[in-house]
Amino acid sequence: MYSLVSYGQRLSPRMDISRTAREQMLRADINDFTPFTNTIKYNHGDSILELFTPPIGNQGIQGSCAAWAFGYGCASIQAYESYQDWNWARRSPAYLFNMRNIDCSAAHTDTIARLLYTYGACSYFLMPYNQNDCETQPNPTQHADAALNKSLKSVLTDSSDVSEYKQFLQIGHPIGVYTNYGQDLKRIWNDGSLDGHWESVTNFNTDSAHALCIVGYDDHQHLFKAMNSWDSIKGDHGFVWVSYDLVQDGVFECAYVFDSRGNGFVPIIEGSSYFCSSEECYQLTNTPSGCTYTWSINSNVYPNDVISSGQGTTNVCISQQGLSPRSGNDTDENINQELPRLNFPRSVLSVNITDQNNHTYSTSKSIYDPSPKPTVSASNTATNWTAGTTRTFTITNCNSVSYTNLQWVIQKTVTALGGNSTIYTDTTYGTYMTYTPTWVTGALSITIDITATNLARHCEDNYVHLSYNVIRKHLLNAIDNGSLLDVTISDEETTSLLKQTTSNEKNLYTLELWHPIYGQMRKQPAYSTNEQININGLPQGTYILLLKKDYEIIAQTKVIIQ
């Protein structure tokens, strides 16, 4: 599965640094390293210790093991001190490996260490690893993120000193190592009976060198735990256990200790990008404790937007002094009128942050003036809307908004005599809308709800809601008058109804009184606009009175009989 290049340490003369030259480099002094407090996962006295580690990865066919051991391993673990989330903390091995800008051959550990010191390592999320791509170079965004995660120290420790390894692990620092016994490592890796335990070597070969990240130790078994980059299927679920004796015998050609704390985090200002109300509040996230914060605002309106509360904290609010950025004299009455909008931010909110190590950095957020909340005019504003009549609705203050962003939703709710409701919905777009409600046979009531929304307004209050009751052209009114029910019929067909009293024609109108449980209780023809129904002996309760014409319900009303 792994070719020679997948070990990652095939040395070329121009990349090799002799052991003598390496020993002349600055040696690590434990007193120069600040302890990490959030990288230690398990610590049982002085006998067993383990650091938090990112999910095991796989370098595949590329010789990128040093980038995985130092970047994805050591730098990610130390970034976890600040992020406490592997989605943010993981560093990209592709960023370091591709940065060599030579070819796709294996990268030496000294090269990767130097890149980590000079440039840092960007987030894995920003530059994912691809075993088939070693040429794509980082973009400005990836470089900017990497600069926040540089190795402040990139120094060497004695690669055979077991006690020194343990001292650095005890203060939360992983150790990057490489070995020229890669073929022996591959042997124990593929031997499932060994569970990743590496206790002997036989084959020294610089063409099969490999890099690892030391992440823990076990004094009971005299083993160091190392994170590998050959997937999690073999070894000990992606890890290797290296005996103290092997370390003391010089199995590792070199060992690096990094302090990749850097700025250690990418601050984020969370909150709305639009000034939707007189005051907007924002929260600064992804920062460690112990920082100081100084907020400022650069405003393009008059009077200027100002910081109203929260200066010096991670939660800040800003208020608008000018109600609109279009002019300095807008009032509550005209704020929703459509005036020319700014095509650039009305204000830019910025924060300068200083951490406990006196490192300073900043971030900002642009805040825009939103598109207006729609104002709607109607051709008829009466609450009762007669079935069969048409009304026109117009959004009056969004002429410059694209018609596809002006949405009308019409919801028709039909409630049947039995109480069940059916909802019909229609959607259209544009500055105006016309609608004609129709009556539904057997309906007890019908309501129309109209919502006009400006989809271009990125605020919660981006809509206007209107409600109407649909009524029929024929109206009924009924009053309990003891043993009789006095019924009054009023509509535009009153003349036709009166005509039936003197005509020999078959009567077209009928009154029916219905009980919700017992059904139809009374039925009689209607000859005039004033009728009486005998209700003597009927049980008390709520009834429905229907007026029918040619067997179709043309009006109805609720009746309470005492």
Q: Which region among 204-213, 437-446, 473-482, 484-493 has the lowest average model confidence (pLDDT)?
A: 484-493
Report whether pLDDT(330) > 90: no
Cα gap 55→521, rounded to integer Å: 76
CATH of domain 4-10+39-259: 3.90.70.10
| CA gap 382, 292 in Å, rounded | 59
CA gap 88, 126 in Å, rounded: 10
Q: Which pLDDT does position 7 carry in this prediction?
A: 41
User: Other CB atoms closer than 10 Å to residue 113's CB: what's the count?
Assistant: 23
Encoding tokens for residue 477?
Answer: 């009114």
Q: What is the pLDDT of residue 427?
A: 96
**Can you tell me whether residue 149 is helix, strand or coil?**
coil
**Residue 216 in this model has a pLDDT that exceeds 90:** yes
pLDDT of 499:
47
Show the DSSP H helices in 281-339 as ranges: none
Band the pLDDT of 266: cuts 50, 70, 90.
Answer: low
pLDDT at 518: 92
Residue 324 φ/ψ region, left for φ over 0, alpha for ψ in the -120 to 50 degree band, beta for the rest: beta
The percent of residues in the chain predicted with pLDDT above 90, rounded, is: 47
Structure confidence at residue 342 (pLDDT): 60
**Measured distance CA(305)–CA(302) in Å, rounded:** 8
pLDDT in tens, 309-326: 999 999 999 998 754 444
Per-residue pLDDT of 131-169, as tens digits, reads 999 989 999 888 888 887 888 666 777 788 999 999 999
| 171-186 confidence digits (pLDDT tens) | 999 999 989 888 899 9
pLDDT at 334: 42
**In 10 A of CB 100, how many CB atoms?**
19
For 120-131, how does the pLDDT look when each residue is reduced to its tens digit (9 = 90+)? Answer: 899 998 999 999
Right CATH for 268-367 from 2.60.40, 3.30.70, 1.25.40, 1.10.3470 = 2.60.40
How large a percentage of the chain has pLDDT more than 70? 84
Containing H/E element for 81?
A: helix 76-83
Please tell me the distance from the alpha carbon of residue 96 to that of residue 72, in angstroms, as a whole number: 10
Amino acid 458 reads H
Dihedral angle sign, alpha carbons of residues 376, 379, 382, 385: negative
Segment 486-500 shows an average pLDDT of 60
Mean pLDDT along residues 540-555: 85
Domains 4-10+39-259 and 475-561 belong to one CATH topology? no
Comparing CA positions, the residue from 539, 542, 383 lying closest to residue 478 is 542
Q: Could you give the CA distance from residue 97 to residue 69 in angstroms, rounded to a whole number?
A: 11
- pLDDT-based confidence at residue 20 (cuts at 50, 70, 90): very low
Mean pLDDT of all residues in 333-354: 68
φ and ψ of 259, to 5 deg: -120, 85
- Could you give the 3-state DSSP secondary structure of residue 445? strand
pLDDT of residue 420: 87
The CATH code of the domain at 376-471 is 2.60.40.10
Report pLDDT for 300: 80
Nearest CA to 84 out of 358, 267, 288, 310 is that of 288
The domain ranges of the chain are 4-10+39-259, 268-367, 376-471, 475-561
Please tell me the distance from the alpha carbon of residue 51 to that of residue 42, in angstroms, as a whole number.
7
Mean pLDDT highest for which of 49-58, 74-83, 330-339?
A: 49-58
What pLDDT was estimated at residue 322?
57
Task: State which CATH number among 3.40.50.1820, 3.10.450.50, 3.30.70.100, 2.60.40.10 fits the domain covering 475-561.
Answer: 2.60.40.10
Please report which confidence band the pLDDT of residue 265 belongs to, taking 50, 70 and 90 as the band edges: low
pLDDT at residue 548, as a whole number: 85
- What is the pLDDT confidence band of residue 485, given thresholds at 50, 70 and 90? very high
CB hemisphere CA count around 435 (13 angstroms): 26
The pLDDT value given to residue 165: 93
The pLDDT value recorded for residue 395 is 97
pLDDT surpassing 80 at residue 378: yes
Mean pLDDT of 204-220: 88
